[in-house]
């Protein structure tokens, strides 16, 4: 199978997964919000967020595992891939132990002395905290198996497993109304059981499917050094990323209480659901980016960076634009009782996801090189700057919306810096990247946004505005992408693809 065919097949599998999981997620969030209520929903988000703070090492080692597995398989080095897998099992087991220790010491102190939780829900929140620790540990232990599945590009199985996980979460939501015990505690417990089931499926599948997925003792000290060095620099970025999300969420709790955590939780759910569409696309491309670099196929490597960056943005814009314009009405339909600030929080996170869609393929290219020290120091510092700046605006009693305005502004700065950084790092043609990626996405976003907002203003009904804005935004984005966002070669490939599909349909009808 060619690289292009493999990417297309994997992307389709991941999109099918995403449609199912997004629908289930949106439904379960609504039901969970209604059953738990604003207060308990906010408690669950802030308590689980405290535990996630201690997983900074997990993200670093996960990136290292994925990169070195892709690199080894790109060079057809099964021996090294097997060693990477074995080392990853040991490292993630150690990380899980460390998370338990930190959560039961520093985490408990912070829980008891700093979180703003209503006194009557302290007991339930403590139990939820312990279940969150267990669920987090099981998530950490999944990483080596999931990295192996991605490295072999078995996206169909990953899509199927994600649907199974969504079905388990849906089943949990259906059980909640008939349970007489504290629903917040029961929900946390059942999520742990679901996590255990998914972990076991990962393990059984990998052990039976992949030759490298069997632990063995080895003495490749150089590989261990490379893994630790790579993950060491990634750790700083992981700390910064977790601090940006969970740290600011904790600050909002300290200054404004669990109600604002509920609003942020809703915003994060919408952001995660929408961003998954582009994340699936990028997940299908990531192994090819690393493998093309390891095979010294630099022309293909550079084409992947350009196309993944701009197509990621285009795919996301189809969802973000109508959602952004109609966010108040959509949340009202979805939740009925919309927490204060939820609309603005969600809109700002959607804008953030558009910027991040362009950034992701750029940092994938840096990971492919393995030389990430300078990138991690500078980008991690900019990301971490969210915490002191957010603390400053909240301490000065600014509107809490400024927390996400700061996040959006810093992400734009990271994007601009990263483009110039890659100009020296991998010889990325900076001027061409601006002309072929950045300028087109600005023009398409501005043009489609203006046409959609202008035309929807002629309709008074909220439902009519929603329908019209979805249709107009899709047509305007599609037209502008074809004429402004694609180069001549890409337009030709698109026409040929459409023509092939039409001819195929005609042939099937004729037979």
State the first-to-last Cα distance of the chain, in angstroms, to the nearest integer: 27
Q: 121 pLDDT exceeds 80?
A: yes
User: What pLDDT sits at residue 461?
Assistant: 79
181: confidence class by pLDDT, cuts 50, 70, 90: confident
Q: What is the 3-state secondary structure (H, E, C) of 220-232?
A: CHHHHHHHHHHHH
User: Among the listed ranges 121-130, 412-421, 459-468, which one has the minimum average pLDDT value?
Assistant: 459-468
Taking residues 4-32, report their average pLDDT: 69
Cβ-based burial of 121 (10 A; exposed 0-12, middle 13-18, buried ≥19): middle
Q: 506 pLDDT exceeds 80?
A: no
Distance CA 335, CA 333 (A): 6
Q: 8 pLDDT exceeds 60?
A: no
**297-336 residue pLDDT tens:** 888 889 889 988 998 899 889 989 999 999 999 999 888 7
**Long-range contacts: 11-16, Cβ < 8 Å, 24+?**
11/155, 11/280, 11/281, 11/284, 13/155, 13/156, 13/158, 13/159, 14/155, 14/158, 14/159, 14/280, 14/281, 14/283, 14/284, 15/277, 15/280, 15/281, 16/159
Taking residues 179-200, report their average pLDDT: 92
67: confidence class by pLDDT, cuts 50, 70, 90: confident
Residue 61 CA: distances (Å) to CA of 64, 91, 103: 5, 8, 19
What does DSSP assign to residue 481? I
**Long-range contacts: 383-387, Cβ < 8 Å, 24+?**
383/237, 383/240, 383/241, 383/243, 383/244, 383/410, 383/414, 384/239, 384/240, 384/243, 384/244, 385/410, 386/243, 386/244, 386/247, 386/248, 386/410, 387/243, 387/244, 387/247, 387/248, 387/251
Q: 209 pLDDT exceeds 90?
A: yes
User: Among the listed ranges 27-36, 161-170, 224-233, which one has the minimum average pLDDT value?
Assistant: 224-233
Q: 15 pLDDT exceeds 70?
A: no
User: What pLDDT sits at residue 510?
Assistant: 67
Distance CA 390, CA 382 (A): 13
Helix (H, G, I), strand (E, B) or coil at 397: coil
User: What pLDDT sits at residue 178?
Assistant: 86
Taking residues 435-450, report their average pLDDT: 94
446: confidence class by pLDDT, cuts 50, 70, 90: very high
Average per-residue pLDDT for the chain: 86
Distance CA 417, CA 395 (A): 29
Most confident of 9-18, 315-324, 361-370: 315-324
With beta carbons less than 8 A apart as the criterion, state whether 232 and 92 touch: no
Q: 221 pLDDT exceeds 90?
A: no
Q: 235 pLDDT exceeds 80?
A: no
Taking residues 384-390, report their average pLDDT: 94
Residue 165 CA: distances (Å) to CA of 128, 158, 435: 20, 10, 42
Cβ-based burial of 446 (10 A; exposed 0-12, middle 13-18, buried ≥19): exposed
450: confidence class by pLDDT, cuts 50, 70, 90: very high
Q: 18 pLDDT exceeds 80?
A: no
Please work out, in degrees rounded to the nearest 5, the angle formed at the alpha carbon of residue 323 by the alpha carbons of 329 and 283.
145
Q: What is the 3-state secondary structure (H, E, C) of 46-112?
A: HHHHHHHHHHHHHHHHHHHHHHHHHHHHHCCCHHHHHHHHHHHHHHHHHHHHHHHHHHHHHHHHHHH
Residue 189 CB partners (closer than 8 Å, separation 6+): 131
243: confidence class by pLDDT, cuts 50, 70, 90: confident
Taking residues 171-186, report their average pLDDT: 88
Q: 372 pLDDT exceeds 80?
A: no
Find the Cα–Cα–Cα–Cα dihedral 49, 54, 57, 63, rounded to 10°: -10
Token pair recorded at residue 405: 């305005």
Q: 481 pLDDT exceeds 80?
A: yes
Please report where in the chains the tokens 């379960």 appear, as a residue: 28
**254-295 residue pLDDT tens:** 999 888 999 998 998 888 888 777 776 677 677 778 778 877
Neighbours of 91 (CB within 10 A): 23
Q: Could you tell me if residue 153 is left (phi over 0), alpha (psi between -120 and 50 degrees) or otherwise beta?
A: left
Q: 413 pLDDT exceeds 70?
A: yes
511: confidence class by pLDDT, cuts 50, 70, 90: low
Please work out, in degrees rounded to the nearest 5, the angle formed at the alpha carbon of residue 371 by the alpha carbons of 98 and 217.
50
Distance CA 280, CA 221 (A): 34
What does DSSP assign to residue 461? S
With beta carbons less than 8 A apart as the criterion, state whether 238 and 60 touch: yes
Q: Which residue, 138, 48, 63, 135, is CA-closest to 93? A: 138
């Amino acid at each position: 199978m060619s690289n292009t065919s493999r990417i297309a097949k994997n992307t389709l599998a991941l999109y099918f997964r995403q449609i199912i999981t997004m629908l289930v997620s949106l439904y379960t969030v609504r039901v969970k919000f209604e059953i738990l209520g604003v207060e308990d929903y906010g408690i669950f988000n802030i308590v689980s967020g405290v535990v996630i703070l201690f997983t900074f090492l997990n993200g670093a080692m996960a990136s290292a595992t994925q990169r070195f597995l892709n690199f080894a398989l790109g060079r057809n080095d099964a021996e090294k891939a097997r060693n990477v897998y074995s080392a990853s099992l040991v490292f993630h087991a150690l990380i899980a132990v460390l998370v338990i220790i930190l959560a039961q010491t520093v985490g408990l102190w912070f829980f008891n002395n700093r979180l703003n939780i209503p006194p009557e829900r302290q007991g339930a929140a403590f139990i939820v905290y312990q279940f969150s620790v267990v669920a987090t540990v099981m998530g950490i232990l999944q990483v080596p198996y999931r990295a192996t599945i991605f490295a072999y590009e078995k996206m169909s199985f990953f899509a199927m497993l994600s649907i199974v996980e969504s079905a388990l979460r849906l089943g949990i939501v259906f059980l909640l109304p008939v349970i007489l015990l504290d629903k917040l505690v029961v929900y946390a417990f059942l999520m742990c059981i679901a996590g255990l089931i998914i972990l076991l499926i990962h393990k059984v599948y990998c052990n039976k499917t992949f030759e490298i997925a069997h632990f063995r003792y080895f003495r490749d000290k150089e590989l261990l050094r490379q893994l630790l060095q790579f993950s060491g620099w990634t750790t700083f970025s992981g700390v910064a990323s977790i601090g940006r999300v969970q740290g600011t969420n904790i600050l909002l709790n300290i200054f404004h209480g669990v109600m604002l955590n509920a609003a942020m939780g809703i915003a994060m759910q919408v952001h995660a659901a929408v961003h998954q569409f582009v994340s699936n696309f990028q997940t299908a491309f990531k192994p090819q980016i690393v493998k093309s670099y390891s095979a010294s196929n630099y022309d293909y490597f550079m084409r992947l960076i350009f196309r993944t960056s701009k197509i990621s943005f285009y795919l996301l814009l189809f969802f973000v634009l109508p959602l952004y314009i109609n966010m108040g009405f959509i949340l009202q339909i979805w939740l009925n009782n919309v927490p204060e600030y939820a609309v603005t929080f969600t809109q700002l996170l959607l804008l953030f996801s558009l910027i991040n869609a362009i950034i992701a393929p750029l940092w994938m290219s840096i990971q492919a090189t393995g030389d990430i020290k300078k990138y991690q120091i500078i980008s991690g510092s900019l990301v971490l700057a969210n915490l002191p700046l957010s603390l400053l605006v909240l301490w000065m009693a600014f509107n809490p919306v400024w927390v996400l305005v700061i996040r959006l502004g810093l992400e734009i700065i990271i994007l601009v810096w990263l483009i110039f950084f890659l100009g020296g790092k991998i010889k990325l043609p900076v001027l061409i990247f601006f002309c072929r990626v950045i300028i087109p996405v600005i023009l398409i976003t501005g043009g489609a946004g203006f046409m959609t907002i202008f035309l929807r203003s002629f309709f008074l009904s909220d439902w009519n505005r929603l329908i019209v804005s979805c249709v107009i935004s899709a047509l305007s984005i599609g037209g502008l992408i074809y004429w402004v966002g694609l180069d001549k070669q890409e337009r030709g490939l698109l026409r040929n693809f459409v023509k092939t599909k039409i001819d195929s349909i005609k042939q099937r009808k004729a037979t």
